[in-house]
Amino acid sequence: MSNPLEKIDDYRWRIPKSYKPGMRVDGIIYADELLLKDIYRDKALEQVANVAFLPGIVNASLAMPDIHWGFGFPIGGVAATDIENGGVIAPGGIGYDINCGVRLLKTNLQYEDVKDKIKDLTCALFSNVPSGVGSKGDIRVSVKEERDILLKGAKWAVEKGYGTQDDLECCEEYGAIAGADPEAVSERAYERGKAQSGTLGSGNHFLEVQVIDQLYDQELSDAFGLDLGRVLVMIHSGSRGFGYQICDDYVRQMVHCLQKYNINVPDRQLVCSPVNSPEAKAYLGAMRCAANYAWANRQCLTHLARMSFEKIFNSSWQKLGMQLIYDVAHNIAKIEKYNINGKEKNLCVHRKGATRAFGPNHPALPDRYKKTGQPVIIPGDMGRNSYLLVGTKKAEEETFGSTCHGAGRLKSRTAASHSINLNALLKQLEAKGITVMASGKGTIVEEAPEAYKDVNEVVDVVHNAGISKRVARMRPLGVIKG
């Protein structure tokens, strides 16, 4: 695209709605000049402009600093539509891995307790947690149980003994979003999902043992019970083949909605339907099923991780202090209330490769996080850092309570596999004290640090822009990749 960007301030840039006839709002990109160089590498900015065509879109088509090209929406895209004024929902604004998300557990272990056992611990986790394309787990479910998962989410796993009530309180939507409709899910999706509960999946999904190497806010760190050298566990996974199939089904089904509802978008990947239409209601019901499937999945993975720690440290996970800090969704649409021009509106908020970031005292937060604001978990690549942040009131005012979700890819998987040497990469990671295990060597190369933006730069932008606030930085010790 020609360069349409206008600088608003050091961390925000505008694509004016005059850039393309048909844009209903401006595009707003959160980035600094350093990250803009990476953003220009693909057509993600063009996608930001395209999203601005959606009927009912409110305020702006937003993009976070980890933005890169995706299906329809850019990954790192946020858009809210006004339901009562023709606002639409677009499956491309959620993506194929519905509720791909991340959770963070703390432990009472310090680095000194773990450093000599990290290889054994990584091996135990790799052995216990099924990973890779098409991986199947030991947690098998019947057809009836699968439907229970779609309605109950993480609560299903807790009822099966794979966690506690505290785990549910520390999940976005308490681990299950209301309104799931198992009848809106195809048989093909059921078939793909039934053997994949409690599996990590492939690609950028991972389980990491991490250690805190920097604290930014002592009061917030104390509130979370965190200190330097403390060992944490991060789990990144989604709805597996189940969610992929639901997205695929509804992208195909909604093509006719463009003509039926007289919707004009510049990209067929932005197929959409008014939120109040029968087609949108069916998609929302199915999408919520996939979101609940993902929360149940991450709860099962948490159980498997806890069992692995118990084996290596010969102690119960409760004594090891393996409590969930929080679990956030990255690819989801939510119906949320916002004040728009002095009026409270019900909006359909699309977050694709973006994290909810509600500030202190938001009614959706559990009491334990009312004072701090919502925990925001930002994974980086396996060679650098990850972060714990908190949401802010400014995010609620500017970005529909949203912030970045990770580092963001720089190189495609194909480009990474052609340009990165596996042995050199493994030596580089080993020199940093990082143990990596994966179901295939190709995955390690595809997920090399060089394939990603530097998450430290991405987090600097959202922190300095005020849409989330740094609490702690972690570095990886042991990594399991799908």
Active site residues: 405
**Six token digits for residue 320:** 């090891």
* Beta-carbon contacts of residue 482 (< 8 Å; ≥ 6 apart): 131, 132, 133, 135, 200, 201, 202, 203, 204, 205, 206, 438, 439, 443
- 3-state helix, strand and coil shares in percent for the chain, rounded to the nearest 5: 40, 25, 35
- Please tell me whether residue 454 adopts helix, strand or coil conformation: coil
Distance of alpha carbon 372 from alpha carbon 354, whole angstroms: 20
Contact 125, 308 (CB under 8 A): yes
Q: How many CB atoms lie within 10 A of CB 36?
A: 16
Distance of alpha carbon 246 from alpha carbon 237, whole angstroms: 17
H helices of 160-239, in order, are: 165-169, 187-193, 218-224
Kindly tell me the burial class for residue 393, based on how many C-beta atoms sit within 10 Å of its own C-beta (0-12, 13-18, 19 or more).
middle
Q: How many CB atoms lie within 10 A of CB 228?
A: 13
Distance of alpha carbon 289 from alpha carbon 178, whole angstroms: 9
Contact 129, 303 (CB under 8 A): no
Which amino acid appears at position 216 of this protein? Y
Q: How many CB atoms lie within 10 A of CB 363?
A: 7
Q: How many CB atoms lie within 10 A of CB 7?
A: 11
C-alpha closest to that of 177 among 329, 75, 281, 303: 329
C-alpha closest to that of 291 among 344, 237, 368: 237
**Six token digits for residue 236:** 């990144």
C-alpha closest to that of 477 among 359, 356, 295, 312: 312
